[in-house]
Each structure stands twice: as structure tokens, then as C-alpha cells.
Amino acid sequence: MKSNLQSMSAAELWSLYEDLAKTLAERLTAEKELLETRLTQLNQRQHLEQKRREKSARRPYPRVFPKFRNPDQPSETWAGRGKRPRWLVAQLNSGRRIEDFRIDRSA
């Protein structure tokens, strides 16, 4: 290959260079278009997955009303879900029953 190039004239080498540059530019353009197409497909897939995730978000639960109230601080309440609040634990440890703090909903 080297001996072929060395035996070629400057005009032939320039012609070969122009052909190579043209072929390289075409291939690069084709590769770029392929990559852009793939990127568009990935972006669409990501957008669809994001929409699916948004649709499958947790459903809204109804408001849970408090069932227990701290008699010392009436603004402190507990709905009976999750970890017991400190004020209730302290009251229960002092010997009181949980029913002593129940909020009467019949009124």
C-alpha cells in the first residue's frame, strides 16, 4: 500500500484525498443520523416510562382523624397509626390507660 502511494502523482493523491474526505463525511453523517435516531427513541421511551410512573403513583388516602388527645396539650393528637408519640408513651408509663386519651366522636 505504501509503495502504491509513493508511486502516485500529487494530482492522484489529491484526488484520492478528496474521495476519502467525501466518503468519510458521508459515513459520519450517516452515523450521526443513526445516533440521533437512537437518542430520540431513548428519550421517547424515557418519557413514556416517566408518564407510567406518574400514573402509578400512590393513590390518595382519605384523611385520618385523630383518635387520641393529650389532655395537657390539646393541640397534640394521635390518629393511632405509626409510632406512639412521646407524650402518650410517658402517660402510659405513668400508669394511665390508652382509653383515658380517646377523643369522643359522638358529640
pLDDT averaged over 10-residue windows placed end to end, the chain, 107 residues? 82 93 96 96 88 74 91 93 94 93 78
What's the pLDDT at 28? Answer: 97
pLDDT > 70: percent of the chain = 94
Mean pLDDT of all residues belonging to the chain: 89
Q: Which amino acid is at 46?
A: Q
Which residues, in sequence order, are bridge partners of residue 78? 68
User: How many C-beta atoms surround the C-beta of residue 77 within 10 A?
Assistant: 18
Distance CA 102, CA 82 (A): 16
Q: Is the pTM of this model over 0.85?
A: no
Distance CA 1, CA 19 (A): 17
- In the numeric block, the cell 389532655 is attached to 71
Smallest Cα–Cα separation from 70: which of 95, 102, 97? 102
What's the pLDDT at 48? Answer: 83
Which residues, in sequence order, are bridge partners of residue 47? none
SS3 78: strand
